[in-house]
Amino acid sequence: MRKKQARILASLALTCAIFATACSKKLQEPAPEATKAQPPYVIGLGEIMGLTQMRHAKLWFAGKAENWPLAAYELDELREGFDDAMLYHPHHRNVPYPLTQMVPEFVSSSLDALDKAIKARNRPNFDKAFDSLTAGCNACHREANFGFNVLKRPTAPPYSNQSFAAAVPGPGRAP
Ligand code: HEC
């Protein structure tokens, strides 16, 4: 190798080494904003309730279509939402009682009645239990000073990209 070429290669290697060291040092140092303590994310009660509203509507259309597996799924999701509400928001703003007391008081018996109706694939009982759940939502809203938030039976499916028709026909139904 000619002397000049060797010198160029050596200086290139040095430049690369310096650059690599600088880069790795930069990677090791945390960015200044990442060093600030971030409070853990907690989902808001309003957000949980927004999801509850969506599931309440889906539950109705699943029951109406006698799609019992979907109805059972939506009921389960509703229960999980209420569990999260009690876990993350046991006390909320000017709500006079703890949610851990209000949720069981206002909705538990309707959720259990829905469970029974879904397992029995009984549409009239499903309708009755659904209306009693909705009444429970509204009673809790009134008690919680959110009485302006009124729920009712939905009239149109919340999403046009989901089929509520039963994917697997139940016993006794035409295929
Ligand atoms: C513990 C009593 C309680 C029960 C039971 C309850 N809610 Fe709520 N709900 C609240 C409170 C409190 C708020 C206000 C939350 C906030 O600060 O944004 C609320 C808010 C809402 C909102 C407004 C959310 C928004 O962003 O527009 C909807 C919709 C809602 N609830 C639906 C329901 C439905 C549907 C049910 C029944 C399946 C239900 N809720 C049961 C206490 C309750």
Q: What share of the chain has pLDDT > 70, as a percent? A: 75
Q: What is the pTM of this model?
A: 0.81
Cα–Cα distances in Å, from 46 out to 82, 156, 159, 167? 12, 23, 20, 32
Pick the more confident residue, 29 or 141: 141
Closest-lying ligand 1 atom to the alpha carbon of residue 102: 1
C-alpha 163: how far from its chain's center? 20
CA-proximal residue: ligand 1, atom 22 (nearest): 49
Distance 139 CA to ligand 1 centre (A): 10
CA dihedral over 117, 118, 124, 127, signed as positive or negative: positive
Q: If you average pLDDT over residues 20-42, what whole number do you get?
A: 67
Tokens standing for residue 111: 């959720």
Q: Which domains does the chain have, with CATH numbers?
A: 45-143 (1.20.120.290)
Q: Which phi and psi (to 5°) does residue 151 adopt? A: -100, 155
User: Taking a C-beta distance cutoff of 8 angstroms, is the pair 111, 75 a contact?
Assistant: yes
